[in-house]
Amino acid sequence: MSTQTAPDESFENAHVLDPAASTASQEDISTEIRDIHEAYRQQVLAGAKEETQPRVDFAPYRSSLLRHPTKNLHHTDPETIELHSPAFGQRDVHILESDLTIQHNGEPIGERIVVAGRVLDGDGRPVAGQLIEVWQANAAGRYVHKRDQHPAPIDPNFTGVGRAITGPNGEYSFTTIKPAPYPWKNHHNAWRPAHIHFSLFGTDFTQRMITQMYFPGDPLFALDPIYQAITDQKARDRLVATYDHSITSHEWATGYNWDIVLTGSNRTWMEDEEGDH
C-alpha cells in the first residue's frame, strides 16, 4: 500500500494551498463553469459534435491547469498489444470483496446500499470476467487515506475499498455504505458531491477507464468543477446512478442501478479486416 504524502488537497497542512489553486469563491468558480458551458452550447448550436468525455483542460478545477496536455491527442490505429487486455479471475478477487460492509468485526455506520449494474462495451456487448474496483469515503465524508485529514470521524468498521469480477452478462453488485460529500481545497468552501470511484477494464486495454459514480439529485452537482468538466448535460447524466426499488431489499438495503459503457473494442473489426486479405 502507498504511504506517500503531499501537501495539496489534503488537510494536513491546512494553511498551505495548492500552488495552482486560488482563493476563488464558489461564485467565481460557478461563473467560470457557466461561461465555458455557454460557449460549448453555442458551438453545438453551430454544428460542433457533442462532447461525451470531460475536458482535460478545465480551469475551474485548478489542479488541472498544469496537468493536462496542451497538444491534441494523436490518433493512432491500435497494434496487437493494444487489442488485448490483462486478465483477472477468481485467483485475483475473492467473492466477498464486493461487500464493503463485512470487512471488519462490526457493522459500519451509515445508510446501507447496493449498487448494481452491468459493464458493456460501445457495441452493447457485456464485458464478462473483468476486474472492477471501487473506493469511496465513509458515511461522514472521510477517506481512510492518510492524506485525508478532513475532521470527520473514521469508521473503524469501514475501509471503503471493494473489488469484483464481472459476471457472464457483465453484471456486478457492490454492497456498501452511502458516502457523504466532503470538503476540498479547490476554492473557498468547496464541497464534492457524494461519489464512488470506479476503475474498469475492457477486452482491449484502450478501453481502460477510471470514473466516479454520483447519486441522483445531489445539490452539489452545479457547484462541482470536476463533475462540470463534462460540458454536456447528457454526458454528465451518464455518471448519475438511478434509484432502483427492484435492487432495494426488504428491511436491509436501498438499491441503485448504474450501467457503465466502455469505448468500442477494436479487436473484432480489425481481425475481420485482416481475414479479408
Annotated catalytic sites, by residue?
143, 182, 192, 195, 197
DSSP letters, 177-234, are: EPPPPEEESSSTTEEEPPEEEEEE--SSGGG-EEEEEE-TT-TTGGG-TTGGGS--HH
How big is the CA angle at 222 (ends 136 and 71), to the nearest 5 degrees? 80
CB of 204 to other proteins, least distance (A): 8
- Provide the grid cell at 80: 496487437
Decide: is 220 part of the binding site for other proteins (CB under 8 A): no
Q: Among 24, 65, 109, 128, which residue interacts with other proteins (rule: CB under 8 A)?
A: 65
Q: Which residue of 92, 107, 111, 271 would you call a contact of other proteins, by CB under 8 A?
A: 92
Minimal CA–CA distance to 87: which of 132, 134, 129, 133?
A: 129
For residue 164, which phi and psi values (nearest 5 degrees)? -155, 160
Least distance (Å) from other proteins to the CB of residue 40? 14
Tell me the CA distances in angstroms from 199 to 29, 51, 249, one per residue in order: 28, 21, 26
CB of 139 to other proteins, least distance (A): 16
CA distances (Å), origin 129, targets 32, 150, 165, 173, 252: 42, 37, 5, 13, 28
Candidate list 22, 103, 157, 199; residue touching other proteins; CB under 8 A: 199
Q: Which is nearer to other proteins, 91 or 245 (CB)?
A: 91
Q: How far apart are CA 238 and CA 233, in angstroms?
A: 9
Question: Could you say which residues in the range 96-135 bind other proteins, by CB under 8 A?
Answer: 120-124, 131, 133-135
Among the listed residues 143, 158, 174, 215, the single contact to other proteins using CB under 8 A: 143
Which residue among 32, 54, 177, 194 contacts other proteins (CB under 8 A)? 54
Q: Should residue 151 be labelled a site residue for other proteins when binding is judged by CB under 8 A? A: no
DSSP state at residue 60: T
Residue 159 gets the label, from left (phi > 0), alpha (psi -120 to 50) or beta, of alpha
**Footprint (CB under 8 A) of other proteins, residues 153-172:** 159-161, 163
> How far apart (Å, rounded) are the C-alpha atoms in residues 129 and 202?
10
Q: How many CB atoms lie within 10 A of CB 178?
A: 19
Query: Among residues 108 and 160, whose Cβ is nearest to other proteins?
Result: 160
Q: Which is nearer to other proteins, 115 or 262 (by Cβ)?
A: 262
Determine the interface stretch with other proteins among 29-37, 108-116, 204-212, 248-256 (rule: CB under 8 A): 204-212
Question: Segment near other proteins (CB under 8 A), from 30-38, 55-63, 102-110, 167-175?
Answer: 55-63
Identify the bridge partners of residue 97 per DSSP, sorted by sequence position. Answer: none
Minimum CB–partner distance for residue 271 and other proteins (Å): 12
Which CB sits closer to other proteins, 84 or 104? 84
Query: Using the rule CB under 8 A, which residue among 17, 20, 24, 128 binds other proteins?
Result: 20
